Amino acid sequence: MAGVSLMDDLDSLFSLALQAQNALKGHVHRTPLTYSTYFSSVTGKDVYLKLENLQKTGSFKVRGAFFKISSLLPEVRTRGVVAASSGNHAQGVAYSASRLGVKAIIVMPRTAPPYKINATKSYGAKVLLKGEIYDDAYQEALRISKKTGAFFIHPFDDPYVIAGQGTIGLEIAEELPEIDSVLVPVGGGGLISGIALTLKHLYRDRKLNVIGVEPEADPKLTRALNAGKPISITPKPSLADGVLTRSVGRLTFKVIQSTVDDVVIVSEDYIAKAMYLLLERTKLLAEGAGALPLAALLQHPTKIPGKKVVAVISGGNADLTTLYRVILRGLASEGRITKITLKLKDTPGALHKALSAVASSGCNIIDIRHDRFDPSVSPGFALVELLLETPSSEAVEKVLSDLKGLGIEVVKHV
């Protein structure tokens, strides 16, 4: 079935998704669809999580990659495949090629995180580092494809890749027929176009809302829909780095125009909050891109129609240093970590008196820093910064009150 004929034929794409479902059996997970009591309670909706963060390679990307490569058999075993990616697509292609006995070359930018490079290598692919951004790696992958004859595996703008991602929609409909809205992260558009075309085909007789979610750092689909065509923008840094692209694809945009009901933009604060709450309340690790649907539910609950909502958690390949910062930020927002700066007399016993007030409130001291050289501090005094782990925001208020009662000046509290 040629790609050209599929571009304007959603029924053909749906049939291709059914083929993909059969092709993927035994090679990728049928991921859980679970009800979240916590997110349902805080949003006032019945929230279900489609856990693609528990998928092989930690992301939905393996579905489209595997189906695309399998569609090229047996010739692909002779010619091999090449792809460009800085993360999840790289691992999806590498894993799929390994399962199918195909040689794979993955071109990654030199700025790709080492753990993603190592994970891609662990699936048996040859990794080449080229350029500083994805676009450099992409151009190199195209050059290699042209020179060697290796099949280029596009991360999203390909009918077989779209159909492979569409199997997520088939699984959702099979497990939870009565749904009102499905929230999907938007990068190049392969995931949302695949899910939207399958669900819209299955729910032709009733209203079902498919809603895309973008970070405010990269609203390329929103701008494309306003312009009536894909446009190129320059993304800003975001926790949701897995969806940062300059533009949605030409094919994915056509599918999205016909099948997606709305697009919601979310802030970095809510992405961080969604990641933190997923980990804290549901014990699930999601990368920033994977947390986008829950960020939308938390930030814009009134924009999500209906009662029964599915949030597609698209991946769990979170960078641990980023995760550390997100956790600290989440703890701070809940009043469980706080920083207090005191002005103390630089005399024996002054610090002990302050720390006694901290201890009596059940707070734990993580770090202490002294500053005797700040020009704003009078001679004989010192600034002391306390980083505290606190059981609650009420405990913080008690510490502040007790310090004031002891005559200790609180210069700053965050």
Query: Domain locations in the chain?
Result: 3-59+159-329, 62-152, 335-413
User: What is the spatial distance between Cα 297 and Cα 207, in angstroms, rounded to a whole number?
Assistant: 19
Q: What are the residue numbers of the active site?
A: 61, 314
Residue 407 region by backbone torsions, left for phi larger than 0, else alpha for psi between -120 and 50, else beta: left
List, in sequence order, every residue forming a beta bridge with 34; answer none if it has no partner. Answer: 49
Res 212 pLDDT > 60: yes
Please compute the mean of the pLDDT values over residues 235-264 and round it to a whole number.
Answer: 94
Task: Tell me the torsion sign for CA atoms 14, 15, 16, 19.
Answer: positive
Res 41 pLDDT > 80: yes
Check if 3-59+159-329 and 62-152 are the same fold: yes
List, in sequence order, every residue forming a beta bridge with 337; answer none if it has no partner. Answer: 389
Percent of the chain residues past pLDDT 90, beyond the cut: 72
Phi, psi of 129 (to 5 degrees): -105, 125
Contact 80, 153 (CB under 8 A): no
User: What is the spatial distance between Cα 214 and Cα 155, in angstroms, rounded to a whole number?
Assistant: 18
Q: Could you read off the pLDDT of 346-364 as tens digits, one per residue?
A: 888 889 999 998 888 888 9
Domain 335-413: which topology? Alpha-Beta Plaits (3.30.70)
Using a 10 angstrom Cβ sphere, with 0-12 exposed, 13-18 middle and 19 or more buried, the burial of residue 226 is exposed
CA separation, residue 247 to residues 10, 164, 229 (Å) = 22, 21, 10
What confidence tier does 8 reach under pLDDT thresholds 50, 70, 90?
Answer: low
Domain 3-59+159-329: which topology? Rossmann fold (3.40.50)
Q: Could you read off the pLDDT of 279-289 as tens digits, one per residue?
A: 999 999 999 99
Q: Could you read off the pLDDT of 190-203 as tens digits, one per residue?
A: 999 999 999 999 99
Reference 309, options 214, 213, 204, 188; nearest CA is: 213
Please compute the mean of the pLDDT values over residues 206-222 and round it to a whole number.
Answer: 96
- Note the pLDDT of residue 7: 44
Asked: is 62-152 a CATH 3.40.50.1100 domain? The reply is yes
List, in sequence order, every residue forming a beta bridge with 127; answer none if it has no partner. Answer: 106
Please compute the mean of the pLDDT values over residues 123-131 and round it to a whole number.
Answer: 94
